[in-house]
Structure 1
Amino acid sequence: MIYDDESAKKLFLEAKRVYQDRGMLKWVGFYLSDHTAVLAKDSQQRSQINKEKQQMSMEEIGVLLQQAYVKRSRIALQLSILDSEGDFHNDLIGKVTGQRENLIFINEEKQGILQLTMEQIHHAEIILPSKIFSQKNKEIDE
């Protein structure tokens, strides 16, 4: 059957009026395991609540930052800044790369170089390598 422009236009408009779009159902087949894994990980991160660690004094934080800098150790920092729900953000983990006046420079593993002030830090702890950490735990248990 041959359609002229007018009859083709009428046929198209009729099909458009009658067709019922399934909405998002038509896209379900496109979700791969990679997509669902990313969605599950994102959901888990959103539901994770970071508990408040013990508030440390400026002197204690300064000593730990100095030790981490001298020994080139990794350090975990919990900042005093809260998220929109009033919970603490994930710890910043990285190495202290320097200090100038009131600023401390941290090479954070995920975000790169960050500038912090001592007042922003709520809690600090040096992260020991897992091999040394497991050996020290065995010595403590015995």
Structure 2
Amino acid sequence: MTDSSNGSTSALQSTTNARTVETFLFALQDEDFDTADSLMADHIAWQNVGFPTIRGRERITKLFRSGQGRMRFEVKVHRVAAEGDTVLTERTDVLEFGPVRIQFWVCGVFELHAGRITLWRDYFDTLNFLKATVRGLLAVPFPALRPTL
């Protein structure tokens, strides 16, 4: 027999966690690093699969702040799925460095505990990222190649 109150609590928690992740991503987009910082657990791990893991809320926030004014982040969330403490995102991320705009597809896995993000793991195709970088560089002299969301 299933306890329906646990199911509804779990569904509510899943929805809350999904909103937390979306709030986090949009805070990064808006350079609202105080909000982003408040949504990360102290011991968070940020993994871009295939690259070194960055550990710790303070370290990650410092990295975000160091790019302020030099780099811009934009996100378009296509899908969000959540079950319990795990949230999956399918999205397009944009990194802008001056006139160079790099736009690429990302699948993210987030784990949350006590309402804060403890794991942020992004998967993306490195070749696709490299092609996006080349396109971004070529779009500087040829603006018609500049990607848009």
Class of the TM-score when normalised by the shorter of the 2 chains: under 0.3
TM-score by length of 1: 0.22
TM-score by length of 2: 0.22
Decide which structure has greater strand share: 2
